[in-house]
A and B are shown apart, each in its own frame.
Chain A
Amino acid sequence: METAITMVLFGLLFTTALLVGRQRNLFAATMLTGIFSLVSAGLFTVMEAVDVAFTEAAVGAGVSTVLMLATLSLTEDTERRESKVSWPALIVVLLTGGALIYGTLDMPAFGDANAAVHQPLSRYYIDRAWDEIGLPNMVTSILASYRGADTFGELGVVFVAGISVILLLGHTRAAAAVAQAERDERPSVLSAERHAQVREMPVVRTVAKVMLPYIVLFAFYVQAHGDFGPGGGFQAGVILATAFILFGLVFGPKELTRLVPPQRLERIIPVGPMIYGGVGVVAMLMGGEFLAYGAFTPEHPSHGHHYGIFMVELGVGITVSAVMITIYTTFATRPRTTTPCAVLEPGEQPVPVGLAPEDVPELPEERALPAQEGMS
């Protein structure tokens, strides 16, 4: 019965993946990718991977879809030309797939309890996690304590991604000019139009206002409950960011930047790695190794693990939510340019949509560079 369900879900995934490739309308393809993530979350649940399903549903079907839609609003939303089958790619893909399948022929059957992958490491964790750490959710105790250094690296990756998006898309002079116009209370074209749009959406506005506190409450619940059921810092951070993104989608990114000013949010992003590294260093100062939480309460190591896991999950939740909100805000407040930069004269700036001409900032003086030896 379970195998039948798994097969049906795999079939759905396959169909959706095929359609993603064939869709020329990128908006539809984005929705199909979201459906793919959601169905795979269902598949993970059927395979008893509840934490993974939770994260995949929140991250893949939620944040990822919103980011892709934000990108489509900044670029084009249709693929330009007909998709012809590319024979070299097809041959490469078939050969690679064939080699991979050949490689998996020796592997144990689906659900085999004696597979080599289950011994000895997971036996170690399953047998010892209750006595050494004492949390019901094994995945949290492995994630935050036994393999806490990996999670630290993952938090570092999230941090770097947030910074990269800020460097690539944020802090534009045009966005600063729009914000300055807002502060000086000069009418900016975008805000009047957006105001009219928001006034016309009574149902969405009201229901969003009603639902937001419950989403935030759920995020806190997931953060605190990660020790006892599926949940933890990542899922909680993403759900909290989803609440703010919902606000931004309904009321406009300007309102969102007034609610959470980007400068302040950017200062919150490093707090997570600081807490995580700080917990590790404090553990060293109290006599253990880096991230050995047992050193906090030497006579009762499992209590120390509880404190350590709570603190690091808190750090993870803070940074992940700040990064996700910042990424969304950066995408949403990026001014849309009308002319592509490739057709501009040197020294001419592209005029962002919605900015009054007198607000377009001036370029600084060109600095003369030494002569170069020809193009490489």
Chain B
Amino acid sequence: MSLLPVWHYVVVVALMMLGLYIVIAKPNYVKKLMGLSLFQVSVIMLYVSMGRITGGTAPIYILDDGVPRPFVLYTNPVPHVLMLTAIVVGVATMAVGLSLVVRIREAYGSTEEDVVAELDRREVEEARARETAVPPEAERAAP
């Protein structure tokens, strides 16, 4: 049960945890998204390193005059296929996340999580204060 044969998993998990720590602990939204990107890349590395075979070659048939050479050891192509999808999906979600950050900045004036939470809390308190101070109006006619 030693760590030596699975050292690549240990390193990849360490990278994942670095990314996860940045997502959880840093209050800046853009920094969180960067940590998320680190996390994604290390998860991709986990799968690709799982599919690696020592002495294998890239999963493209080596052709001798149009016929694939027999008895060639190829690395496992299935994790590569899955990870291609994962990378593209990752950049798509990153784009949506970044546009959300831009909208948050425009609405609250800050990209820090604690400032945004504080502004939200103040808005709720003001709304509650307004509700109790002014008697509720009669139903307005719908447009």
Tell whether, in the assembled complex, residue B106 and residue A341 are in contact, meaning their CB atoms are under 8 Å apart: yes
Chain A residues contacting B99 (CB-CB under 8 Å) are 71, 164-165, 168-169, 327, 330-331
Are B44 and A52 interface neighbours, CB within 8 A?
Answer: yes
- Closest chain-A Cβ to B66's Cβ sits at a distance in Å of 10
Check: B133 CB closer than 8 A to any chain A CB. Answer: no
Task: Look across to chain A and name the residue whose beta carbon is closest to the beta carbon of B91.
Answer: A59
B1, B59, B98: the one contacting A71 at CB < 8 Å is B98
* In contact, A110 and B5 (Cβ under 8 angstroms): yes
Neighbour of B78 across the interface among A125, A228, A374, CB < 8 A: A125
Produce 1/0 per residue, A84-116, CB < 8 A to B.
Answer: 011001101110110011001101111111010
CB distance from B14 to the nearest CB of A (A): 7
Structural contact, A75 and B30, CB atoms closer than 8 A: yes
Do A117 and B50 touch across chains, with their CB atoms under 8 A apart? yes
Chain A residues with CB under 8 Å of B53's CB are 111-113, 118
Q: Give CA–CA (A92, B21) in the complex, Å.
A: 9
CB contacts under 8 Å to A, within B52-97, are 52-61, 63, 68, 73-85, 87-96
Given contacts A33-B34, A33-B38, A118-B76, contact A6 B18 (CB under 8 A): no
Taking a contact as CB atoms under 8 Å apart, the answer to whether A64 and B102 are in contact is no
Instruction: Tell whether A55 is near chain B: CB-to-CB under 8 Å.
Output: yes
Min CB distance A59 to B, Å, is: 5
Complex alpha-carbon distance, A74 and B82, angstroms: 34
Cβ B24 vs Cβ A139 within 8 A = no
**CB of A360 closer than 8 Å to a CB of B:** no
Contact status A26-B31, CB under 8 Å: yes
B126 to chain A, nearest CB (A): 10
Given contacts A17-B19, A371-B139, whether A327 and B54 have CB atoms under 8 Å apart is: no
Closest chain-A Cβ to B38's Cβ sits at a distance in Å of 5
Q: Are A143 and B31 in contact (CB under 8 A)?
A: no
Which interface residue of B7, B78, B143 has the most chain A CB atoms within 10 A?
B78
Cα distance A101–B2 in the bound complex, in angstroms: 11
The verdict on A20 contacting B88 (CB below 8 Å), with A68-B30, A90-B21, A113-B53 known, is no
- Is A364 in contact with chain B by the CB < 8 A criterion? no
Return the chain B residue nearest A161 by Cβ: B92
A164 with B96: CB separation less than 8 A: yes
1-54 of chain B: CB within 8 A of chain A: 1, 3, 5-11, 13-22, 24-28, 30-31, 33-35, 37-38, 41-42, 44-45, 48-54
* Chain A interface extent, by class: 35 or more
Which size class do B's interface residues fall under? 35 or more
CA separation between A256 and B28, bound complex, in Å?
31
Q: Does B117 contact A (CB under 8 A)?
A: no
Q: Indicate if A67 sits at the interface (CB-CB under 8 A).
A: yes
Q: Which of B20, B31, B94, B143 contacts A29 (CB 8 A)?
A: B31
Q: Give the docked Cα–Cα distance between A311 and B3 (Å).
A: 47
Could you list which residues of chain A lie within 8 angstroms of chain B, going by C-beta atoms?
Answer: 6, 10, 13-14, 17-18, 20-21, 26, 29-30, 33, 36-37, 40, 43-44, 47-52, 55-56, 59-60, 63-64, 67-68, 70-72, 74-76, 79-81, 83, 85-86, 89-90, 92-94, 96-97, 100-101, 104-105, 107-113, 115, 117-118, 121-122, 125-126, 129-130, 136-139, 142-143, 147, 150-151, 154, 157-158, 160-162, 164-165, 168-169, 228-230, 234, 320, 323, 327, 330-331, 334, 337, 339-343, 350, 367-371, 374-375
Closest CB pairs A-B (n = 6): A340-B109, A111-B54, A109-B5, A161-B92, A89-B25, A86-B25
* A–B pairs, 25, beta carbons within 8 Å: A14-B18, A29-B34, A36-B41, A56-B44, A59-B90, A68-B33, A75-B102, A76-B105, A79-B31, A80-B28, A81-B112, A94-B17, A101-B3, A108-B5, A112-B54, A125-B77, A138-B77, A139-B60, A139-B80, A158-B92, A168-B100, A340-B109, A341-B106, A341-B109, A370-B139
